[in-house]
Amino acid sequence: MSILVFAEHDNSTLKADTLKTVAAAQAIGGDIHLLVAGSNCQSIAQEAAKVNGVTKVLVADNAAYEHQLAENISLLVTELAADYNHILATALTTGKNFMPRVAALLDVAQISDIIAVESADTFVRPIYAGNAIATVKSLDSKKVITVRPTGFDPVAADGSAEIVALDSVTDAGISSHVNDELSVSERPDLGAASVVISGGRGMQNGDNFKLLEGIADKLGAAIGASRAAVDAGFVPNDMQVGQTGKIVAPDLYIAVGISGAIQHLAGMKDSKIIVAINKDAEAPIFQVADYGIVGDLFDVLPELEGKL
């Protein structure tokens, strides 16, 4: 049995979540190959070759794959699919974008966002914003799966796999990249940080998110936000934690001025320790918080920063 895992990267670094998707592949069991598709991505291939449990790294290095457009990547993966029983990608925006396209081209269903592997054909996934956990048995001969990173511990990266260059180029010719507006931050990635501090509507405006920055600096934390804060324009979309935003499970999650709508809880309730700071003692966030402070965040945050 062979498993193809799509490597998440931005042509300069391999995303650490790929190591968790490889862990899911190991739980399924079989010969694991990593696909690196990008442009000028040889350094990614070198990194990928070190991922434990991987026996082969397939490298598709071509301008057609630079921005990982779904139309082109899905053709590439579909072309490779004949050799594999399982095709896995991380459930981040790239994988979520192209994988259902692969599934449909192969005429199979996709099992999205798995958090556990029961067997080679049976998987566990959250539904209804994580308010129910479904165990699903796939009836398709080929399994197309996206893996939620919070469900798996990363494998180590001290191996050495064979690197094989692919020369076929699949360019659907129906889409092109225009530009990126990337958020630049010195802080750790939301999905990878061991501490996350998030602000909600209670922050009142974008400027007040500065109050979170000092604390984030002291804790080495990433900064997140609730949908309400993003919708109100306080902060950009890539900071949204929730059912349809980023799913995080850090060791420590600090929710500031966030009431705790079920959609937000879906994105963070698997955190090890949750702290809530909110002036409304009745806010639902306190029902999932290990430690709560009922108080005005504009008093609590400066004090917390000062005392850390």
Partner 1 sequence: MKVLVPIKRVIDYNVKVRVKADNSNVDLANVKMAINPFCEIAVEEAVRLKEAGIATEVIAVTVGDKASQEQLRTALALGADRAIQIETDEKLDALNIAKLLQKIVEEEQPQLVILGKQSIDSDNNQTGQMLAALTGMAQGTFASEVKVDGDTVNVTREVDSGLQTISLKLPAIVTTDLRLNEPRYASLPNIMKAKRKPLVVKPAADFGIDLSPRSTLLKVTPPAERKAGIVVDSVDTLIEKLKNEAKVIS
Using CB under 8 A, which residues numbered 95 to 134 contact partner 1?
96-105, 107-113, 122, 126-134
3-state secondary structure 263-282: HHHCCCCCCCEEEEEECCCC
- CB of 55 or CB of 244, closer to partner 1: 244
- CB of 45 or CB of 228, closer to partner 1: 228
Closest CA to 10 of 91, 70, 85, 68: 68
- Encoded one letter per residue, x for contact with partner 1 by CB under 8 A and - for no contact, window 227-266 reads x--xx----xxx-x--xx-x----xx---------xx---
What would the two tokens of residue 17 be? Answer: 């979540």
Exactly one of 22, 195, 203, 212 binds partner 1 (CB under 8 A); which one?
195
Exactly one of 26, 138, 150, 259 binds partner 1 (CB under 8 A); which one?
138
Looking up tokens 């798995």 gives 114
- Encoded one letter per residue, x for contact with partner 1 by CB under 8 A and - for no contact, window 57-96 reads ----------x-xxx--x-----------------xxx-x
Mark the segment that binds partner 1 (CB under 8 A) among 20-28, 46-54, 175-183, 200-208. Answer: 175-183
Please tell me whether residue 268 adopts helix, strand or coil conformation: coil
- For position 307 contacting partner 1 by CB under 8 A, the verdict is yes
Closest CA to 61 of 43, 83, 79, 82: 43
Q: How far apart are CA 202 and CA 177, in angstroms?
A: 37
- The answer to whether the beta carbons of residues 200 and 93 sit under 8 Å apart is no
